Structure 1
């Protein structure tokens, strides 16, 4: 039987009900619909048709896996409630379907961007990209105004299976109006080289270009230059793209329709059109409803709103963000009456339409949204950093028992759900890692900020060398062991980042770099000093006079702060990058406002306080009651963390973590009941396989554990299965040693993500029962691993398997797992595999 998607099936059924005139026929149809709906939902979940007998058993299993009472109630509601034939009951079925999908998938749905109305363009461009008749290097361009879907179309082409098969190398970089050649080259490299080395970061523009030329030589490649504004960027880069008559292509996206003639493209520019009314409606309903079906009671209003978007996808996305969380007729009618969306090429003519979305924001979200005008175009903003900055600026306030960081995350998700922000990177567990704002919306932020006298930070690129940094510890192999050491590059190298990095305030970069004194009166109200991309020799002691600082990020050859750091009584976030191990003065324990203490490298020490004050009836405060993040610190500095920082949520130990008897050893953190993430990086290798510690040393709520260089015997891994809430386990850099990992009867009941990096494992014996809720498996650079256990592919919840840089047999086993699942009708599981030989060629 041919398997159709849920929205296709329901779409056909809802169309057919309209043409039925007989009441009895309608009643029979609706009754059939409510009886079969769950079958369609199951089909949507696993793209697989089941018999009704198997369906009931599977639904019970799904409810047990997700343990969601609302899911249970909704399923029974669909199965058991006798529906009557009416538009209202059909709408109820549609809305119930939406709720069911949202419960099951939550925010972890992986799906490509909706592409509507580009079918002909896709066929044409695919032919041009993969044509075997033209061997010479071809430049192909896609142009149109902002918001028409240029990047969306380019992404669809870039990820198309035919393109993946046709080209040996694919690379993507975003250009924008302001760019640096080095950043463009680094982004191209990062597209097909999984981990860039320090050597690459230290190269000059010319050296990088020459290396790129050699790597592309005699290879069939596709490079996408997204959002190119003029021909200058192409002129800066084209010398590094060889034309060896292999059928290579360069694809541009641009707002400039004449870009093709500027870069001497062999073919006319593909100018994107606005969507027609049918396409606009199709995109509109697919952006709002997971099933792609709009309730009958809202359809007429929805069509009016979609028509007023004048065929611009960006406008449709914004409107969908306004509507998707409010299904009342009154709200949709209000939007339909007020929306004056006439999107044309002049930005001043669509500001009013964007203002509609902005004006609908609650007051607490408006400054968070406008804040995105602080960053350059197309800049990917780290979610962690964004939240720290929002809090520093005073945009986030306490909400009930929620901590500020969780409130800020809710704000971010609200902006994303309204279509005002875009997710650009996700973490291993599917959570958002970085986000960005569309150029049109960024322009709106700048205009609205001027109108409302809203002060932006205006992040800019610092005027410093763009060489690479070695501030991070370098991990090397020595006689089979992992050693952590310092890289001894020059002082004037900024941090190791794909982008050269930004700084704020911009004018301070020269003052700090040159060692000139800071005029405090000019910056006495500054809350943010972000200089982690401006290298200096020592931690500038004069910054402690900026008494209003909430956020301070410093990069220094010697990053040890002075004792006077405690003068910054309002400081919430302190980030230090240093080439040397740093010593934090005992006065750090007096900084009661501190929330995040992030040290980016090395084995660092915190001096003992003179007195440990523990909260009691006399009202004495804890030393650091608000501290949530503490990273890269020596375990010897943290012997009594439960009394010094009782509310820690993220903790990273770096130092000697193995006892003389070969046991994993670190300070007891079991009393840190809020601790969710723990990193253990051992720096002193032990000559034999080590043993685990007693699980009671870990807090009960721990959900993420990372082990590095601990050299643990695989037989000891069962102890971590006793952590009841562990969701993410990362085994990196000689974390475990030995050829065989046999999971036996151990069960990791809550584990969702398992990552294995740079391990010497050869055989892995495991079953689906060991990881009943696993969603993502990542195996990277485990070159001796023979295969991925076949039974792992049968885990009901598994979504992704990534195998990179492993043996050919491990690569083939991952492909075999995917084939087996596809043969069983499960196309839900995605496998991304690249063998070691292909990685070595990169």
Structure 2
């Protein structure tokens, strides 16, 4: 963790202009000197990587550096915060606060000198441990893996074929009454893997009319469970979170009535959970099924009279097959490593999760006897311990490249069984400064490669896919989450406050750098039992709808001054924010649910804000003049709302532009917005989503002519309209080369639109959602580069997709179509 902190600090200090600190009596020079010290410490940490586990004194030395890094981070960011505060004062205010400011700077200088003395003491001891100071560059092997996408591994399940076949038969045959079938086993044994295999099985998809998968977890919420099921069997329903249990029960019964359905309830812990939800499922006498996975046999027997399926540990043959598949992935197994591999497997005791994690770790390292002998020794050390499984899994964490460790530990923030949005996760990583530049890749592409690397090591599991084949969601196994929480707490990286009714009783005046709260958000913020001054991130996963008070806000801006990330989720409703929220000078990421028409003015004074997520269902208004104050804004994501821009573009632009803005969703494309785009509001925009209606006639011509870097465009229509206006005035010669993805949603359909879409020279992904049409005909030569066609809820005629390589229709387009989603 200290490595990422030092990297961020060195970058901050390197960007400071020394002349800005002439009034600071030498503090600027001290900061520049500290920058050199921090870069040297970073090299030391990289060269001590992996040696902490071998030598207790090395571990103690690294811990000292972490403490120094945390203290240096607090000093520097507090100093910058005070400098920014002084810049915002009037002349009278500067005079009034001058003496106090001078004292603050003097205190900073003294503390910096103390830190430098500590660093010198650490360096004086380094020779004892045989650690040489090198250049400290990124691990070459890790860097090479980031230059390519994650290698796809065959997803065919190893082991439990007998159990899977038995379950498949029970689900599709037997009694016509509603049956509950359960799978029981300890964590890491493969319950969810088997259930997922069944859920995705084509026989199951064809046999049942409605399908739903819901993760329950130990701390369940009945309303949320039913809401999740409704969202699966009847998508695109709004306002479910505001309904009571009786209404939810009625709605679910209506959706499942007369349908043959299957529902998977994954990770059930309490008998009471089943008692609360069982009445929601109608018995249609048509062979419907419910599948429960649980660690507790009593829960399974309580839900059904049918005997549960108890999972066993892997046999030596199954263990070897799983191990070999994950280490070498089809390549030959070197004979000199087989004996070591067998010994490592023996210590995994037939637990599939341990086998996969250890195998994935070895797959990412040099295939040598030296590495495998060390791994065997490490695994053997932990045998017989109370948490032997967790310690074995921890080996994979300790062997991660330093770039990946903070990214992995961030998973400690998320609730159990939470399906994480990859877009949101990467935005958090970026705001925290975890992602470092690499070659010509964008930071987002590097972040995706980091996530791929964690998946490659089996520490993270991929979830649902985007239309382009990339990951939309991801998750982690419960045992991996336990490991993540333990390590994050031990590193003082993050506290996850979830299973407590009184957060202060657990935090006990500690100084966590980040805090994730799953309940009692307000109480946690207002707690006086712990120290918030060093907090860098506060994330809430509150499930109970609530509003926050002025006391809540005051506590934030007076005591959480160094926050970089503030994510209040969707359950905490925001109507307004006090102007003093601008004191959060460091804030780079803000996400909240807005229950009002206008974006609070206070947000526009967060000058370092990079990522803004505004959730909500109502329409919102944004002042263009104020928006232009957010010069560092990179992503403006406006949830499900329809947002209008107001102001006079011709007087404001192009004097000031949002040059850093890369993503903007969802905006109403009226005349003000069109004019703003034409005058250079966001010239470097790559992703745009607009939501329009027939009340405003518009065309893409002005957008395509002004947004030269646009890669992804989504157009949603609120009502029926004349499609000809979309491409009004657009000629084939004006179609952009960089636009690779187009999504059309809730629209009527005309052949002219399809014809024009087929002319986009580099269109790779076309997604059509909720489209009314009479028939789709692809003309000759259309869609020359189309790779993925996603058709979602189309209504109308027949859809025919010709692929020359499969059907011999060489005269038609779509010659590169690889993926078709319907």
Assess same fold via TM > 0.5: yes
Which whole-Å CA distance do the structure 1 matches of 2:808 and 2:474 have between them? Answer: 35
Aligned residues: 633
Q: 1:119 aligned to 2:161? A: yes
Q: Note closer, same or farther for the CA distance 1:611–1:355 as it changes in structure 2 (3 Å cut).
A: same
Which whole-Å CA distance do the structure 1 matches of 2:695 and 2:256 have between them? Answer: 45
Which whole-Å CA distance do the structure 2 matches of 1:124 and 1:652 have between them? Answer: 47
SS at match of 1:315: helix
Among 752, 755, 767, which residue is 1:718 paired with? Answer: 755
Cross-structure match for 1:605: 645
Q: Does the Cα contact within 8 Å between 2:786 and 2:815 map onto a contact in 1?
A: no
Cross-structure match for 2:437: 398
Q: Does the Cα contact within 8 Å between 2:741 and 2:764 map onto a contact in 1?
A: yes
Q: Note closer, same or farther for the CA distance 1:649–1:227 as it changes in structure 2 (3 Å cut).
A: same
Which whole-Å CA distance do the structure 1 matches of 2:258 and 2:718 have between them? Answer: 43
Cross-structure match for 1:667: 702
Q: Deviations over 1:436-475 (max 9, x none)?
A: 11111111111112211113444445679xxxxxxxxxxx
Deviates more, 1:134-143 or 1:682-691: 682-691
Unaligned runs of 5+ in 2: 1-144, 496-513, 522-537
Aligned-pair CA distance for 1:524: 1.4
SS at match of 1:742: coil
Among 570, 574, 580, which residue is 2:608 paired with? Answer: 570
Which whole-Å CA distance do the structure 2 matches of 1:150 and 1:395 have between them? Answer: 34
Q: Does the Cα contact within 8 Å between 1:608 and 1:637 map onto a contact in 2?
A: no
Cross-structure match for 2:216: 175
Deviates more, 1:322-331 or 1:367-376: 322-331
5 Å-filtered alignment, 1:739-754, equals 739-754=774-789
Q: Does the Cα contact within 8 Å between 1:539 and 1:559 map onto a contact in 2?
A: no
Deviates more, 1:541-550 or 1:511-520: 511-520
5 Å-filtered alignment, 1:794-813, equals 801-803=820-822
Q: Note closer, same or farther for the CA distance 1:649–1:330 as it changes in structure 2 (3 Å cut).
A: farther
SS at match of 1:412: helix
Cross-structure match for 2:593: 555
Cross-structure match for 2:766: 729
Cross-structure match for 1:440: 479
Aligned-pair CA distance for 1:166: 4.8
Cross-structure match for 1:521: 558
SS at match of 1:252: strand
Q: Does the Cα contact within 8 Å between 2:467 and 2:767 map onto a contact in 1?
A: no
Q: Note closer, same or farther for the CA distance 1:443–1:759 as it changes in structure 2 (3 Å cut).
A: closer
Q: Note closer, same or farther for the CA distance 1:680–1:241 as it changes in structure 2 (3 Å cut).
A: closer
Cross-structure match for 1:632: 666
Deviates more, 1:754-763 or 1:143-152: 754-763
Q: Note closer, same or farther for the CA distance 1:166–1:790 as it changes in structure 2 (3 Å cut).
A: farther
Cross-structure match for 1:210: 250
Q: Note closer, same or farther for the CA distance 1:330–1:724 as it changes in structure 2 (3 Å cut).
A: farther
Cross-structure match for 1:679: 714
Cross-structure match for 2:313: 274
SS at match of 1:275: coil
Q: Does the Cα contact within 8 Å between 2:765 and 2:788 map onto a contact in 1?
A: yes
Aligned-pair CA distance for 1:125: 3.1
Q: Does the Cα contact within 8 Å between 1:678 and 1:704 map onto a contact in 2?
A: yes
Which whole-Å CA distance do the structure 1 matches of 2:808 and 2:643 have between them? Answer: 37
Unaligned runs of 5+ in 1: 1-101, 465-501, 615-621, 774-787, 804-842
Aligned-pair CA distance for 1:203: 3.1
Which whole-Å CA distance do the structure 2 matches of 1:522 and 1:671 have between them? Answer: 44
Which whole-Å CA distance do the structure 2 matches of 1:759 and 1:225 have between them? Answer: 30
Aligned-pair CA distance for 1:196: 3.6
SS at match of 1:319: helix
Cross-structure match for 2:195: 154
Deviates more, 1:579-588 or 1:452-461: 452-461
Q: Does the Cα contact within 8 Å between 1:144 and 1:256 map onto a contact in 2?
A: yes
Which whole-Å CA distance do the structure 1 matches of 2:811 and 2:315 have between them? Answer: 46
Q: Does the Cα contact within 8 Å between 2:586 and 2:608 map onto a contact in 1?
A: yes
Q: Does the Cα contact within 8 Å between 2:782 and 2:814 map onto a contact in 1?
A: no
Which whole-Å CA distance do the structure 1 matches of 2:464 and 2:638 have between them? Answer: 23
Which whole-Å CA distance do the structure 2 matches of 1:217 and 1:797 have between them? Answer: 42
Q: Does the Cα contact within 8 Å between 2:711 and 2:740 map onto a contact in 1?
A: yes
Which whole-Å CA distance do the structure 2 matches of 1:417 and 1:423 have between them? Answer: 10
5 Å-filtered alignment, 1:53-452, equals 112=155, 114-132=156-174, 134-164=175-205, 166-193=207-234, 195-198=235-238, 200=240, 202-217=242-257, 219-243=259-283, 246-261=286-301, 263=302, 265-291=304-330, 294-296=333-335, 298-326=337-365, 328-330=367-369, 332-340=371-379, 348-452=387-491
TM-score (normalizing by structure 1): 0.67
Q: Note closer, same or farther for the CA distance 1:680–1:164 as it changes in structure 2 (3 Å cut).
A: closer
Q: Note closer, same or farther for the CA distance 1:212–1:652 as it changes in structure 2 (3 Å cut).
A: closer
Q: Does the Cα contact within 8 Å between 2:608 and 2:632 map onto a contact in 1?
A: yes
Q: Note closer, same or farther for the CA distance 1:532–1:331 as it changes in structure 2 (3 Å cut).
A: same
Q: Does the Cα contact within 8 Å between 1:553 and 1:574 map onto a contact in 2?
A: yes
Which whole-Å CA distance do the structure 2 matches of 1:714 and 1:674 have between them? Answer: 28
Which whole-Å CA distance do the structure 2 matches of 1:270 and 1:727 have between them? Answer: 45
Q: Note closer, same or farther for the CA distance 1:243–1:323 as it changes in structure 2 (3 Å cut).
A: same
**Larger helix percent:** 2
Which whole-Å CA distance do the structure 2 matches of 1:230 and 1:684 have between them? Answer: 46
Aligned-pair CA distance for 1:586: 0.7
Which whole-Å CA distance do the structure 1 matches of 2:485 and 2:667 have between them? Answer: 40
Aligned-pair CA distance for 1:674: 3.1
Q: Does the Cα contact within 8 Å between 1:741 and 1:763 map onto a contact in 2?
A: yes
Cross-structure match for 2:548: 512
SS at match of 1:407: helix
Q: Deviations over 1:777-820 (max 9, x none)?
A: xxxxxxxxxxx9999999886665444xxxxxxxxxxxxxxxxx
Q: Note closer, same or farther for the CA distance 1:723–1:271 as it changes in structure 2 (3 Å cut).
A: same
Q: Note closer, same or farther for the CA distance 1:345–1:175 as it changes in structure 2 (3 Å cut).
A: farther
